[in-house]
Amino acid sequence: MTSATGVVHLAARETVRHSRNAMANTETSSAERYLTVPELAALLRIKERKVYDLAATGAVPCSKVTGKLLFPEHAVRRWLERGQTGAAHAEAERASLFLGSHDPLLDWALRQSECGIATFFDGSQDGLDRFVASEGVAAGLHMYDAANDIWNVTRVEAALSGTDAVLLGFAKRQRGLVVSRDLSNDITGLTDLVGRTFTPRQVGAGTRTLLDHLMQEADILQDTIRMRPVARSEADAVLDVATGASDATFGLEALASQHHLGFVPLIEERFDLLVSRRAYFDPPMQRFLSFLKTAQFSEHAAALAGYDVSEAGTVRWNG
């Protein structure tokens, strides 16, 4: 009987073989390829019903487009790698690096606290993957589990249960449509995006996953919207709108306010911090976390639109 770990290793080898074959037959990069439910089931050697269960719980990265589940191949490959075990992996030294999703308040607080932690923000999924691979001491996440109506905990628990990590609250944020000033009266909801230019985020970003979910709920086909090239940060997406390159994006109220753009609120989300417990007690992280309790931090957050930082630093999950 094959163990669960054995299945993961077999699946990882199958992923490598699948990727090589795909590259031999197409010029599409793995970052752009998507697997269907049957293809993922064949790759993992499980029933298609199990694939639907994995997608419903958020255990496997996926997007839902026109009623169909699609799985970004590069994200699936990293998901498989997260399932591999080994003492050397668990004990790897972590760089003093903050990973995950970009947040303007977090970015400011890291600099203002003078904690010395560097940053590499490229989306929630990327941050979680890199954190599991011990590439950084912390990651900012906003990953929604629609089935259980919970933020971040489900995904973190699935990837890191039993490990030396902790999930801390940082802020609740207002997210919605950031709209060009000239179109503030014309775009009042998702349905008004049809026929407009729109700047999306990259696959794996919490913003992209959440938008896919909301558009699916509203029964809006993404091919009815003129999609611009992806923006890889919250600031870049909003800048597209501010410069007139795009009519709208799915962004933060704080950035819409800074650029004097229109804003249509759609959801309040949780932005949490996944932190290595070992790094938690180190001076740089302690300096940063202490700064979150200062009046300077609270006053700056209050000056921005759409932030609630009353739970900053509180423990939401303990590995």
**Residue 129 and residue 44 share a domain:** no
139 and 170 housed in the same domain: yes
Which of 53, 82, 111 terminates a domain? The answer is: 82
Q: Which domain holds residue 21?
A: 4-82
Compute the mean pLDDT over every residue in the chain, rounded to the nearest whole number: 86
Give domain status of residue 121, yes or no. Answer: yes
Whether residues 169 and 60 fall in one domain = no
Q: Which of 51, 82, 113 is the last residue of a domain?
A: 82
| pLDDT recorded at residue 279 | 95
Domain match, 56 and 115 both = no
Residue 262 has pLDDT above 50, yes or no: yes
**253 close to 306: Cβ distance less than 8 angstroms:** yes
Q: What is the mean pLDDT of residues 252-265?
A: 97
- 209 and 116 in a common domain: yes
Q: Is the pLDDT of residue 157 over 70?
A: yes
Query: Is the per-residue pLDDT at 243 higher than 70?
Result: yes
Question: HEC string of the chain?
Answer: CCCHHHHHHHHHHHHHHHHHHHHHHCCCCCCCCEECHHHHHHHHCCCHHHHHHHHHHCCCCCEEECCEEEEEHHHHHHHHHHCCCCHHHHCCCCCCEEEECCCHHHHHHHHHCCCCCEECCCCHHHHHHHHHCCCCCEEEECCEECCCCEECHHHHHHHHCCCCEEEEEEEEEEEEEEECHHHCCCCCCHHHHCCCEEECECCCCHHHHHHHHHHHHCCCCHHHCEECCCECCHHHHHHHHHCCCCCEEEEEHHHHHHCCCEEEEEEEEEEEEEEEHHHHCCHHHHHHHHHCCCHHHHHHHHHCCCEECCCCCCEEEEC
For residues 97 and 166, membership in a common domain is answered with yes
Q: How far apart are the first and last CA of the chain?
A: 30
Which of 60, 82, 104 is the last residue before a domain boundary? Answer: 82
| Nearest Cα residue to 278 out of 165, 125, 131 | 165
Q: Hunting for tokens 């929604």 — which residue is that?
A: 144
Instruction: Give the number of C-alpha atoms closer than 13 A to the C-alpha of residue 318, restricted to the C-beta side.
Output: 3
Give the pair of three-digit tokens for residue 220: 């809006």
CATH code where residue 157 lies: 3.40.190.290
Tell me, yes or no, whether 310 lies in a domain: yes
Q: Is the dihedral of CA 288, 293, 296, 302 positive or negative?
A: positive
Angle at 22 between CA 64 and CA 66, to 5 degrees: 15
Q: How far is it, in rounded angstroms, from Cα 142 to Cα 204?
A: 11
pTM for the full predicted model: 0.74
- Residues 44 and 156 placed together within one structural domain of the fold: no
The domain total for the chain is 2
pLDDT tens by residue, 61-104: 777 766 788 888 877 776 776 565 444 444 468 999 999 999 99
- Residue 263 and residue 117 share a domain: yes
Q: Are residues 181 and 319 in the same domain?
A: yes
Does some domain include residue 88? no
Q: Are residues 204 and 123 in the same domain?
A: yes
Backbone angles phi, psi at 242, to 5 degrees: -65, -30
Domain assignment present for residue 87? The answer is no
Mean pLDDT of 186-198: 97
Residues in CB range of 282: below 8 A, 6 or more apart: 137
pLDDT tens digits, residue range 2-59?
443 343 343 434 443 443 333 333 334 444 588 888 988 888 888 888 888 887 766 7
